[in-house]
Amino acid sequence: MLLSYRSRSEKELQERLKKKGFSERHIAAALQNLKQAGHLDDHTLALDLKRQAFDNRLLGHNRAKLFLLDRGVPDAIVNETMAYDEEAETQKIQKLIEKKLKTMGACPDNRGKKKLWDFLLRKGYTYNTIKNALHNFTQVEEEE
């Protein structure tokens, strides 16, 4: 029942079963059976969550790592899965800026730029990535 709603990490499932009152012995046996049956795989979950974080939520690298860790994926698997790709990061932030500007208006003032900056920081992008993206964006705006 716990896996029918969405995929869960081993840690997450263990915590949920413990919360429902199952003994450690029964939890360990259940997790082992699920692993052997292929229903519990943290590597597959990490790849799926990475795709969700990057493609659907347009999260930056830092926030995407935190997203995986929050879901109970072990550090080693997160570090293995989350290789930094500067080109992909640049494309995501540009897409996110365009999306955000549709709701903010075409050319934000200084207050709007600050709001945009803070929004991008919350999404997990680094200072340099934001600075370069906004600089590139303002150059494109000036050319038009």
* 45 and 98 within one domain: no
- Over range 129-141, report the average pLDDT: 81
Q: How far is it, in rounded angstroms, from Cα 114 to Cα 108?
A: 9
| Domain end (from 81, 99, 123) | 81
DSSP 8-class letter at 53: I
67 pLDDT higher than 70: yes
Residue 68 shares a structural domain with residue 112: no
- Residues 46, 91, single domain; the answer is no
Residue 99's domain spans which residues?
86-143
**Residue percentage of the chain with pLDDT more than 90:** 69
Helix (H) or strand (E) holding 3: helix 2-5
pTM over 0.85, yes/no:
no
pLDDT, tens digit (0-9, with 9 covering 90-100), for 69-109: 999 999 999 999 999 999 999 999 999 998 988 887 766 67
- Residue 74's pLDDT is 95
Q: Which pLDDT tens digit goes with each residue over 9-47?
A: 999 999 999 999 999 999 999 999 999 998 899 999 999
Is the same domain home to 72 and 12? Answer: yes
Position 103 scores a pLDDT of 85
